Amino acid sequence: MRHPSTSSSSTTAAGGGGGGGSGGKTNTSTTTPCCSKVGLKRGPWTPEEDEVLANYINKEGEGRWRTMPKRAGLLRCGKSCRLRWMNYLRPNVKRGQIAPDEEDLILRLHRLLGNRWSLIAGRIPGRTDNEIKNYWNTHLSKKLISQGIDPRTHKPLNPDSPAEDDNKNKLSSSKFNQNLMPYADQNIVTPSLELEPVVSSNRIPVMNKGNGYYYQGSNQMLANPNPNLPNPEFSGLGLVRSINNGVGNEEDDEVNYCTDDVFSSFLNSLINEDGFNSIQHQAVQQQQQQLNGIVPCGSSDPLIISSTPTPPQNFTFGAGWDIAPIMSSGSALNHNEQLKRFHDQVDKKF
């Protein structure tokens, strides 16, 4: 294996980066000036180059990448400088082993966001999108596959899994679901109004907004790889904030306040759905134990629910989130379309 801290300092001849992918997009012959590498150095950065770049940015600040190399005296293209800074030289970039709690969070976030590496990285301090992407491709996707889970959809590779039955008919044949929607959590269900927020084994209300409850589908997806680990929310890791932070107040709504915090809180609510499921599981266990006379009724932990879990109350999006129509009972939209609209809004916001 290549040691992370040494490879980039390699002074070996050109090589390093790959030939570049198509990105799956329409190929055009146009190239930006930055992409023309005439006379520019490529491949691994040398310690000298790193020093020059770091010194320059520390003095002049980030930005204006296109012209930076010239100003800094580097024979690199702006993109290369930016990438090097963002992924390696920038302060606070954490390297080394991904901790189990980070891995857990990556899994949760990927289930919710799909391959939105920058969004995922934005919620894991010190980790870059490139690093997370690499870790996903080299570790986590294989890990999921070995567990019989499709890393792209976070659904069982075996389509006959009983956990799927509830939504299978609605989802499995969807081309949108299979191809157009790499986002992972395709079991999110937006029920119609007449549906009460009834909790079943695989349909958990996560949040509500106005008329609609937001359901989380199969709870067997993304089993916590380390059940002994607390949910980051409650672990003091500071990786995610409490959902209570996301309680939308009228003030915010009035000023059309739709910020990262709003989305962040919403995301947290989704992330913590796993914790929610875990809590539910604990509750079931507790009830069982109570029936067996093992433990006294009640729990000092306010997060431990007693019987029927209730969705987080009072959660709201900022005004910029047009979630109500998505959740609307009268909507003729099927689930996939609703979910797609939600993701579209995610895209628009971020």
As a whole number of angstroms, the distance between CA 326 and CA 341 comes to 7
- Regarding 7 and contact with DNA (CB under 7 A), the answer is yes
As a whole number of angstroms, the distance between CA 198 and CA 321 comes to 25
* Contact indicator for 181, 343 with CB cutoff of 8 Å: yes
# chain residues binding DNA, by CB under 7 A: 68
- Regarding 1 and contact with DNA (CB under 7 A), the answer is yes
Closest CB 30 distance from DNA, rounded Å = 6
Q: Which is nearer to DNA, 49 or 164 (CB)?
A: 49
> Which span sits near DNA by CB under 7 A: 114-122, 229-237, 239-247, 254-262?
114-122
- Regarding 176 and contact with DNA (CB under 7 A), the answer is no
Contact residues for 124 (Cβ-Cβ < 8 A; gap 6+): 102, 105, 106, 109, 132, 239
As a whole number of angstroms, the distance between CA 161 and CA 202 comes to 12
- Regarding 162 and contact with DNA (CB under 7 A), the answer is no
Q: Out of 30, 179, 300, 313, which residue is the one contacting DNA (CB under 7 A)?
A: 30
β-partners of residue 149 are 156
- Regarding 281 and contact with DNA (CB under 7 A), the answer is no
- Regarding 109 and contact with DNA (CB under 7 A), the answer is no
- Regarding 79 and contact with DNA (CB under 7 A), the answer is yes
Closest CB 41 distance from DNA, rounded Å = 7
Instruction: Please choose, from the candidates 124, 316, 78, the residue with its C-alpha nearest in 3D space to the C-alpha of residue 237.
Output: 124
Q: Which is nearer to DNA, 43 or 320 (CB)?
A: 43
| DSSP H helical ranges for the chain | 4-7, 47-60, 68-72, 78-84, 100-113, 117-122, 129-135, 141-146, 165-171, 175, 232-235, 250-254, 260-271, 273-291, 323-327, 335-349
Q: Which is nearer to DNA, 125 or 298 (CB)?
A: 125
Q: Out of 77, 222, 262, 339, which residue is the one contacting DNA (CB under 7 A)?
A: 77
As a whole number of angstroms, the distance between CA 75 and CA 265 comes to 43
Q: Which is nearer to DNA, 70 or 281 (CB)?
A: 70
Q: Out of 108, 111, 116, 203, which residue is the one contacting DNA (CB under 7 A)?
A: 116
Q: Which is nearer to DNA, 32 or 306 (CB)?
A: 32
Q: Which is nearer to DNA, 4 or 210 (CB)?
A: 4
What 3-state DSSP class applies to 208? strand
- Regarding 289 and contact with DNA (CB under 7 A), the answer is no
Rounded to the nearest 5 percent, the helix, strand and coil shares of the chain are 45, 5, 50
Q: Which helix (H) or strand (E) holds 214?
A: strand 212-216
- Regarding 125 and contact with DNA (CB under 7 A), the answer is no
Kindly list the residues in this chain that would bind DNA in the complex (CB under 7 A). Answer: 1-4, 6-8, 10, 12-13, 15-28, 30-35, 37, 42-45, 63-67, 76-80, 82-84, 87-88, 95, 115-119, 129-131, 133-135, 137-139, 142, 182, 348
